[in-house]
């Protein structure tokens, strides 16, 4: 795709394409904006990932980091990878990608896990790259002395993103004047984000009535139990075998709930189902779970917490890891920032009579443009 088709006044600054003839690895990194610091964003490995998708995600990271008030810019990477046919090549692809980005990571770009990458992959990336800070989301036991002190990984498997989504959901319910105790919630996706969101919201007293995975939806209007649902998933491979009604995957977006939390794939709310959404609040745990134009349309009747507001827990955790902080530091900062940022966005939106995305974007863009005006361009 031509750069002119999506370039604007803040980025992207660089698009880097890499190819390794030995392994067949093809990948790319988009550095959207680095005015606030090195571009921060995960490595996505799917068969269909392309530069346009990576740019959209990089822009979300630019806004997310600025809104979270972190010294990071926005970036993202993609490696073309088919798990079904290339699983034996995954490690080689990541090693190759880590070597290919030596000249920009971590000086201009800091990687992290995303779809089909995990904490062990970040360890592989870092070792291949040669710099401990070239990626975050590394294993907890993977440590190194950095700047005279011991620094260790803080994997996203500790629940950073999911817990952050729960904190954001709690604030949204408060603004909507819906008591969190007994609030009905549907969570699309029962992976790392969805499980920790479920766990924390259950602790708050919310009633999670539906969860889904790749095999379908488990729905129970009386509420689901986190430990039982996790056990079913671990023992039988899918939540659909739990105590409740089994529905098609798409039905989770149509349930009459207080809160709908899309926590898996992009563009799951689209022209085919937008008119069937009955939730009072949508909290976007996944990146770009719906096109912007559909979000704008639904915002007229539904309170929507944008992705780069709600799912910032992961990048806040990354910042704590980047500066050598602990798990306790991470948990404290995620709660503090998600509560403060979500409330600030909603207060701004209601005051200016604009959507939460517009409010969040305004706040983030002001910080980015101020940094761009003040920095010394290389």
214 and 115 housed in the same domain: no
Question: What mean pLDDT is predicted for residues 21-25?
Answer: 97
Average pLDDT over residues 83-106: 96
CA distances from 92 to 20, 139, 153 (A): 10, 19, 22
Shared domain check, 226 and 146: no
Please report which confidence band the pLDDT of residue 147 belongs to, taking 50, 70 and 90 as the band edges: confident
Q: What is the pLDDT of residue 281?
A: 98
Residue 156: its pLDDT value, please? 81
- Do residues 188 and 231 share a domain? yes
* Whether residues 170 and 304 fall in one domain: yes
| Phi-psi region at 339: left, alpha or beta (left = phi > 0; alpha = psi -120 to 50) | alpha
Check whether residue 172 and residue 65 sit in a common domain.
no
Q: Are residues 9 and 132 in the same domain?
A: yes
Per the domain annotation, does 317 fall within a domain?
no
Q: Indicate if 146 and 176 belong to the same structural domain.
A: no
- What pLDDT is attached to residue 377? 47
User: Are 13 and 32 within 8 A, CB to CB?
Assistant: yes
What mean pLDDT comes out for the span 260-268?
Answer: 94
Whether 54 and 185 map to the same domain: the answer is no
Same domain, 225 and 115: no
Average pLDDT over residues 79-85: 95
What is the residue-averaged pLDDT of the chain?
A: 95
Is residue 117 one of the residues assigned to a domain? Answer: yes
369 membership: H or E segment, kind and range: helix 356-374
Q: Would you say residue 172 has pLDDT above 80?
A: yes
Instruction: Output the pLDDT for position 350.
Output: 97
User: What residue numbers bound the domain in which 268 lies?
Assistant: 160-312+347-358
Structure tokens at 125: 């990336």
Indicate whether 105 belongs to any domain. Answer: yes
Same domain, 60 and 139: yes
Let me know whether 113 and 239 are in one domain: no
- Read off the CATH number of the domain in which 111 is found: 3.40.50.10860
Answer whether residue 169 is part of any domain. yes
Q: Among positive and negative, which fits the CA dihedral 282, 308, 203, 233?
A: positive
Q: Which pLDDT tens digit goes with each residue over 280-312?
A: 999 999 988 999 999 999 999 999 999 999 999
State the first-to-last Cα distance of the chain, in angstroms, to the nearest integer.
27
Active site members: 76
19 located within any domain: yes
**Which has the closest alpha carbon to 284: 223, 357, 176?**
357
Q: What was the pLDDT predicted at 2?
A: 53
pLDDT digits over 125-143, tens only? 999 999 999 999 999 999 9
Instruction: Assess whether the previous peptide bond of 12 is cis (omega < 30° from 0).
Output: yes
pLDDT value at residue 378: 42
pLDDT of residue 376: 60
The DSSP line for 274-295 is GGG---SEEE--SSS-S-HHHH
Angle at CA of residue 12, ends 28 and 291, nearest 5°: 85
- Identify whether 244 is part of a domain: yes
CATH number of the domain where residue 303 is located: 3.40.50.720
CB contact set of 98 (below 8 Å; sequence gap of 6+): 105, 124, 125, 126, 127, 128, 129, 134
pLDDT of residue 351: 97
**pTM, rounded to two decimals:** 0.89
User: Do 224 and 308 have their domain in common?
Assistant: yes
How many domains does the structure of the chain reveal?
2
Residue 333 lies in a domain: no
What's residue 323's pLDDT?
94
pLDDT at 195 over 90: yes
Report yes or no on 13 lying in a domain: yes
- Is residue 13 helix, strand or coil? coil
């Amino acid at each position: 795709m031509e750069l002119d088709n999506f370039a604007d006044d803040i980025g992207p600054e660089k698009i880097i394409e890499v190819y390794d003839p030995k392994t067949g690895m093809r990948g790319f990194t988009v550095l959207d904006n680095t005015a606030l610091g090195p571009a921060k964003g995960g490595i996505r490995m799917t068969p269909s990932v392309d530069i346009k998708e990576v740019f959209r995600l990089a822009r979300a990271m630019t806004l997310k980091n600025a809104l979270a008030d972190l010294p990071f810019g926005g970036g993202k990477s993609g490696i073309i990878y088919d798990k079904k046919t290339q699983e034996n090549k995954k490690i080689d692809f990541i090693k190759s990608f880590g070597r290919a980005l030596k000249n920009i990571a971590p000086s201009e770009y800091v990687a992290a896990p995303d779809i089909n990458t995990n904490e062990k992959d970040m360890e592989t990336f870092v070792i291949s790259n040669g710099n401990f800070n070239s990626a975050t989301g590394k294993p907890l036991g993977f440590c190194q002395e950095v700047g005279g002190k011991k620094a260790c990984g803080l994997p996203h498997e500790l629940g950073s993103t999911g817990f952050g989504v729960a904190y954001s959901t709690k604030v949204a319910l408060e603004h909507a004047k819906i008591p969190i105790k007994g609030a009905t919630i549907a969570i699309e996706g029962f992976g790392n984000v969805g499980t920790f969101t479920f766990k924390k919201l259950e602790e708050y007293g919310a009633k999670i009535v539906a969860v889904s995975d790749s095999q379908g939806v488990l729905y129970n209007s009386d509420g689901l139990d986190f430990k039982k649902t996790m056990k079913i998933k671990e023992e039988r491979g899918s939540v659909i075998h739990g105590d409740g009604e089994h529905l098609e995957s798409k039905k989770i977006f149509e349930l009459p709930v207080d809160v709908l939390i899309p926590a898996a794939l992009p563009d799951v709310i689209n022209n085919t189902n937008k008119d069937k959404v009955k939730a009072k609040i949508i909290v976007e745990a996944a990146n770009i779970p719906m096109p912007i134009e559909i979000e704008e349309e639904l915002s007229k009747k539904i309170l929507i917490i944008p992705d780069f507001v709600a799912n910032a827990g992961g990048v806040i955790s990354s910042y704590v890891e980047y500066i050598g902080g602990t798990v306790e530091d991470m948990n404290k900062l995620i709660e503090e920032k998600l509560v403060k940022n979500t409330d600030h966005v909603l207060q701004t939106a209601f005051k200016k009579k604009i959507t939460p995305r517009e409010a969040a974007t305004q706040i983030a863009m002001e910080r980015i443009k101020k940094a761009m005006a003040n920095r010394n361009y290389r």
